[in-house]
Amino acid sequence: MTRTLFRGTVRTGAGDTNALAVRDGRVVALGSAALALDAELVVELGEGLLLPAFGDGHAHPLFGGLEHFGPQIKGLTGVADIVAEVGRWAGEHPDEEWIVGASYDPTLVPDGEFDARWLDAAVADRPVVLRAYDYHTVWCNTEALRRAGVTDATPQPRLGHIVRRPDGSALGTLREWHACDLVLDRVPGRPVDELVDALRVAGAAYASAGLTRVQDAWVEPEMVPAYVEAARRGALSFRADLAFRADPDRWRDQRAEFVAARAEVAERGGPLLSARTVKFFADGVIEGGTAAMLAPYRDAPHSCGMPVWPPAALAEAVTAFDADGFQVHIHAIGDAGVRTALDAIEAAVSTDPTRDRRPVIAHVQLVDPADLDRFARLGVIANFEPLWAQLDPLQHELTIPRVGAERAGRQYPMRTLVDSGARVSFGSDWPVSSHRPLEGIQVAVTRRTFEGVPVEGWMPHERLTVDQAVHAYTVGVAYQAFADDRRGLEVGSVADLVWLSADPRVVDPMSLGRIVVEGTWLAGTRTH
């Protein structure tokens, strides 16, 4: 007897049908053949739609889950509110040596430069470290700077920037790797039990959004045991692939470490967990002035940003990890960062053009027109975070003033790349932005803010159809994950499913983000 029968509109990827049957975690029948089977459970879809579950091609589940346990500063709209929340949390947790939180809004003060003394007013005797929601910037109090040894004499790090006051003292804002790590490296590690709880929190959030697959796009070695333990305890409720971060200063030593970690995950991680990816940061972010640009920043004509790797070194490292059998996943935001990433992948492809490698460039915010056709030619997956493709305060207050109107008008070329034949997947970069795919789909389809601005859409020629956007969040992510048995719904497919309260293809595009996820199934087991 089949376990579950779904009756109603089912989007299979090859067209719609009226029923789907699941047994032992897989689709066993569609349409009239499914209706002819006996079922233990019947799910009536009503006016809704059943389709393959969403995936997230670029996110940070552990970071997102851990935010749940610290000061709740995400979404607060003023410095005073953030400081008050930090003070409240510190008062309720007197035994915590460090106060760690994340996802404050960097647009709340000019140039995103936050002062340590503001946090000192709430907590002066313990270190406080807060990440901006881009996770490329840190705001800390004076005690955190003191423990990190940051003084007037501390030189600017090679990959990062210590923001200073006119007198040369550290302000309290640190940008990018080597600057942020001055403080972050002093933060005590969290116990495995807490990290497992964070993954449990992340899993509940993903299930409620219709997600069953996530690419964790930034994994350090100390995070691997938490994933393995979560899988062992049954606390992992989504499929996860781990991307180890390649360090430009020690990547050669990391090769053996990553191969060993991949083998450990394969042996102990169970069916939901893999570790087949290596993550590279080609550059930083535009709002911090660290994305690598082909031409100088408009507001900093002396600077083209901060490449994390010299081009030749990135090409060498990408080729090496590719030869080790890893999928490469490169953060690239500026047009120079994207070009360097494409060049590195082209170097790897030239060593073995036949290998099915499915390399990924994530974010793809600004692409020089000369590089657009290279994605399809090289088989590069463009992973966009579609929620970012709107004229929000970040664009108005930081991005556009820094790059100017011409470059700002070339951001997030989703439709151009789809039309070129390139593979496109979607992600959220959660907790950087909302993990809910339907919200990202709404922006991809409308290129408008949730308030409807601009009415005609921002760069309307880059809007996607609903089918294209849903494809990127389902089939696109499955392709990226080499999950070729989960790219659609057909007999034999793994039953990773999402039931939506309405068919996104027929509703007002400005209401896509308000569609309710009625149910989520992971291999036929309901998780939401």
The structural domain count of the chain equals 3
Same domain as 252, residue 316 = yes
pLDDT of residue 228: 97
Question: Range of 43's domain?
Answer: 1-52+489-528
Per-residue pLDDT reduced to its tens digit, 446-502: 999 999 999 999 999 999 999 999 999 999 999 999 998 666 799 999 999 999 999
Look at residue 206 and tell me whether its pLDDT is greater than 70.
yes
In the sheet with 16-23, reading across from the earlier edge strand, the strands are: 26-30, 16-23, 2-11, 39-52, 497-500, 517-522, 525-526
The answer to whether 303 and 297 are in contact (CB under 8 A) is: yes
| Coil, strand or helix at 255 | helix
The H or E element that residue 287 is part of is: none
pLDDT of residue 14: 83
Per-residue pLDDT reduced to its tens digit, 262-286: 999 999 999 999 999 999 999 999 9
- Looking at residues 187-201, what average pLDDT do you find? 93
The H or E element that residue 277 is part of is: strand 273-281
Give the span between the Cα atoms of 477 and 426, in whole angstroms: 7
pLDDT of residue 221: 85
Residue 74 lies in a domain: no
pLDDT of residue 222: 86
Residue ending a domain, among 166, 184, 202, is 184
Residue 380 lies in a domain: yes
pLDDT of residue 241: 98
Token pair recorded at residue 170: 């550290």
Residue 91 lies in a domain: no
Taking alpha carbons only, the member of 131, 115, 124, 175 closest to residue 146 is 124
CATH at residue 145: 3.10.310.70
- Please give the mean pLDDT across all residues of the chain: 95
Dihedral in degrees, nearest 10, Cα atoms 203, 207, 212, 213? -50
Residue 79 lies in a domain: no
Same domain as 200, residue 178 = no
- Looking at residues 384-390, what average pLDDT do you find? 98
The H or E element that residue 266 is part of is: helix 251-268
For helices 251-268 and 224-233, give the axis angle rounded to 10 degrees: 10
Same domain as 471, residue 384 = yes
CA 475, 61, 516, 523 torsion-angle sign? positive
